[in-house]
Chains A and B, each alone.
Chain A
Amino acid sequence: QKEVEQNSGPLSVPEGAIASLNCTYSDRVSQSFFWYRQYSGKSPELIMSIYSNGDKEDGRFTAQLNKASQYVSLLIRDSQPSDSATYLCAAGGISNFGNEKLTFGTGTRLTIIP
C-alpha cells in the first residue's frame, strides 16, 4: 500500500513564528508533490507544488523536497491567524493497479495562536 504520512497535529504555533509541516511518502517513484490548505467545510486550495529536490519559495511559503529521504516539508514564515487550517500533503505516482494518481496524506491541523 503506497502511503503518504503526516503528523495529524494539532500543531500550535504563535503568530509571527515559523510553522513547519512535514510529510513522508513510501513510493520511491513519486514524481510530483503538492501542499494543499483546507479550511473547515471548504475545498482544498493549492499552496505549493514541487517536483525537484531542494527548496521552492513563494511568498511566506517554502516547500522542501528530499527524494533520497522521501520527505517533503512546508514552512510558513510570519504565521498569521488566517493560516489556521488543515494542510494536506499529496504525492503523484503510480498506484498499486498501475494508474497514475495523487495519494493524499491525512492532513495536519495547524492553529496559529494570536
Chain B
Amino acid sequence: DTEVTQTPKHLVMGMTNKKSLKCEQHMGHRAMYWYKQKAKKPPELMFVYSYEKLSINESVPSRFSPECPNSSLLNLHLHALQPEDSALYLCASSQGRLETQYFGPGTRLLVL
C-alpha cells in the first residue's frame, strides 16, 4: 500500500482565516514533505520532516506553519494567507530523503 491521504480536498479561505491541512501515511516512512504547486509549474518544496523533526524549511513565509505530531501525521497550519498563496498543496512521504516520494491527492486551496 503506497497511499498518502490528505484532507480537505478543497479549501476556500479568507485572508484573515486560520485553517489547517492534514496529511497521513501508514507506510512507515520516516520522511514527509509539503509542496506547493501552481498551475503548469512543478511542485515547489516547502518543508521536509525527517524522523518527526523539521529538517528543511525552504524560506517559506511564517504564515505557513508545519507540524508533525507523530511519524504518520503531518499538518500545515495556515494563517493570514494572501491570494497568491492559492495553489495545490501536496503532501508526500518517503522511506529516505533521496528515495521514492509518494504523493497524496493534494488540497486545492483558494484564498479570497
Which residues of chain B in 46-105 are interfacial with respect to chain A, using CB atoms and an 8 Å cutoff? Answer: 48, 55-56, 88, 90, 97-105
Bound CA span A106–B41, Å: 6
Please state if B56 and A88 are interface contacts (CB–CB under 8 Å). no
**Which residue of A is nearest B41, CB measured?**
A106
Please state if A49 and B42 are interface contacts (CB–CB under 8 Å). no
B45 at the A interface (CB under 8 A): yes
**Which residue of A is nearest B43, CB measured?**
A104
Bound CA span A45–B90, Å: 12
A-B contacts besides A42-B106, A43-B105, 20 pairs, CB < 8 Å: A31-B98, A32-B99, A34-B100, A34-B101, A36-B103, A41-B108, A43-B88, A43-B103, A43-B104, A43-B106, A44-B43, A46-B101, A49-B100, A100-B97, A100-B98, A101-B45, A101-B48, A101-B97, A104-B43, A107-B42
Residue positions of A touching B, CB distance < 8 A:
31-32, 34, 36, 41-46, 49, 88, 92-93, 95, 99-102, 104-107
Can you sample 25 A-B contacts with CB below 8 Å? A31-B98, A32-B99, A34-B100, A34-B101, A41-B88, A41-B108, A42-B105, A43-B88, A43-B104, A43-B106, A44-B43, A44-B90, A45-B103, A46-B2, A46-B100, A49-B100, A88-B43, A92-B97, A92-B98, A99-B48, A99-B97, A101-B56, A102-B45, A102-B101, A107-B42
Q: Tell me the minimal C-beta distance from A56 to chain B in angstroms.
A: 13
Cross-chain pair count, CB within 8 angstroms: 51
Taking CB atoms, residues of chain A closer than 8 Å to B98 are 31-32, 92-93, 100, 102
Bound CA span A42–B59, Å: 26
Taking CB atoms, residues of chain A closer than 8 Å to B100 are 34, 46, 49
**Which residue of A is nearest B56, CB measured?**
A99
Please state if A46 and B102 are interface contacts (CB–CB under 8 Å). yes
